[in-house]
Amino acid sequence: MTKAQTLHIRPAIQQGFTLVELMVSVTISLVLVLFVSSLYISSKGSYRINDDSARLQEDGRYAMGLIGRNLMQAGFGNALTRTTTDFVGVDVDGNPLQGLRGCDAGFVSPVAATPDFHCATAAGKPGLEVSYRVAELYDANTGAGADCNGQSVDETPPKPGIVSNRFFLYTKAGDSAPSLYCNGQGVGKVATVSQPVLSNVEDMVLTYGADTKGEFVTDKLNLNADGVNALPTANYKTKWNQVTSVQVCLLISSTNNVTPQAQTYVDCNGVSQTATDRKLRMAMTRVFTLRNNAASNLVD
C-alpha cells in the first residue's frame, strides 16, 4: 500500500498597515478634505458676492427707473390752448403748483399720520416732490394713472388727474439703514401712507441743472435746492420752473455681510470711503432731463 500523504497548507500571514502608513494616509486625507473645503468656501463666498452685487444693481436700476419716470413727467399737462395746459393746482403753501420741488434736508414729517411735506430746516437727507398730470385713466392691474403707491388719482375738477409723488429717505424702527420711501398724493385727495420702495439706501444726493437765460440751454449745474430757490426770474420762469435736469445718486448697501475684508468705495459726493462691516456698497448715479419744465401758462 501506498502511504497516504497528508498535504499541509500553511496559512497565509495577514499583515495590516503600519503606524507610519496609517499616519501618511490620514495626512493625505486631511489635505484633500482641507483643499475641497477651501474650494467650497471660496466658491460660496464668490457666489454670495456676485449674487449681492447683482441684487444691488437690479435694485438700483428699479429705484432709478421709478424716480426717472417721475422726473421726466414733471410739470406735464395736456395742452388746452397754444399757451395753456391742464396742469393746475397748488402746493403745500397754497402757491401755484410746480412740476418739481426739492428740499435739501428732506420733509418735516413725511411718515406721520398727518404728514407734513414742508421742507425741513434741520440736517437731513434731501427730498424730492414731482407733480404732473397723469396721461391715462386709473388701472389697478397695470398701475396706469396711479401715484407711486399704486393709488388712484383724484379726477374731480378743477384739479383733474394731478399727482404729487414725494421721494425721501427714512429709517424705520428696527432697521440699521434708511430706506427709500415714496408718498403719493393726487391733488385734492388725502396723502396716502408713505411706503418703502427700496431698503438699505444709505444716502441720496440730488443736484439740479437750470436754464437761467431762457435759451433752452442748461447753463447752471450742480445746484442744490437752496441754490435753485435763490435763482432770479428768467424769461418769465421762476425758480423751479427753470430746472431742466436732475442728477440723482443713490448709495445702496447689501443686506448680508459678504465681503471678505474691508471694502473701499466712492460715495455720492465723490469721496473715497472704507467700510469695515463687510457689506457691499454701490453708488449709482443717473441724470434725468425734465421734458416739461413749463408752468400751466406757457410762453413763446
pLDDT-based confidence at residue 296 (cuts at 50, 70, 90): very low
Average model confidence (pLDDT) for the chain? 82
Is 159 a residue whose pLDDT tops 70?
no
Per-residue pLDDT at 283 exceeds 60: yes
* pLDDT at position 31: 84
Mean of pLDDT values over 87-103 = 83
Q: Tell me the per-residue pLDDT of 26-60, one tens digit each, with 9 for 90 and over.
A: 888 888 888 777 766 666 666 667 777 788 889 99
pLDDT of amino acid 297 = 43
Distance CA 232, CA 211 (A): 11
Q: Which three three-digit cell numbers place residue 235? A: 424769461
**Coil, helix or strand for 83?**
coil
Cis link prior to 158 (omega < 30° from 0)?
A: yes
- How much is the pLDDT for 255? 83
pLDDT band at 81 (very low <50, low <70, confident <90, very high): confident
pLDDT at 238: 76
Q: For 240, which DSSP code?
A: G
User: pLDDT exceeding 90 applies to what percent of the chain?
Assistant: 33
Return the exposure string of 98-133: e unless at least 16 CB atoms fall within 10 Å of the residue's CB, then b: bbbbbbbbbbbebeeeebebebbeeebbbbbbbbbb
Q: Please say whether the beta carbons of 134 and 184 come within 8 A.
A: no
Residue 123: the pLDDT is 82
pLDDT at 114: 86
Q: What are phi and psi of 48, to 5 degrees?
A: -65, -40
Name which of 190-199, 276-285, 289-298 the model is least confident about.
Answer: 289-298
pLDDT above 70 for 257: yes
Collapsing DSSP to helix, strand or coil, 46 comes out as helix
- Answer yes or no: are the C-beta atoms of 273 and 267 closer than 8 Å: yes
- Could you tell me which residues come within 8 angstroms of residue 298 by beta carbon, excluding any fewer than 6 positions away? 82, 83, 84, 85
Contact 280, 63 (CB under 8 A): no
Q: Which among 289, 229, 288, 279 has a CA at the least distance from the CA of 259?
A: 279
The pairing of beta strand 179-186 with beta strand 162-170: antiparallel
Interatomic CA distance for residues 204 and 245, integer angstroms:
16
| Domain map (residue ranges) of the chain | 47-289
Q: What is the mean pLDDT of residues 2-22?
A: 63
Amino acid 293 reads N
Q: What pLDDT is stored for residue 63 in this prediction?
A: 94
Least confident of 148-162, 173-187, 266-280: 148-162
pLDDT at 162: 85
Q: Per-residue confidence at 15, pLDDT binned at 50, 70, 90? A: low
Unique residue bearing C-alpha cell 443736484: 207
178-235, pLDDT tens digit by residue? Answer: 999 999 876 555 567 789 999 999 999 999 999 888 777 788 889 999 999 998 877 6
pLDDT at 64 over 70: yes
pLDDT of residue 294: 46
pLDDT of amino acid 80: 81
Q: Mean pLDDT highest for which of 34-43, 72-81, 121-130, 232-241?
A: 121-130
Mean pLDDT value of segment 146-161: 72
Higher pLDDT, 7 or 65: 65
* DSSP annotation of 88: -
**pLDDT for residue 247 is more than 70:** yes
Helix/strand/coil for 242: helix
State the Cα–Cα distance between residues 108 and 118, nearest whole angstrom. 6
Give the mean pLDDT of 10-38: 75
C-alpha 100/C-alpha 77 separation (Å) is 13
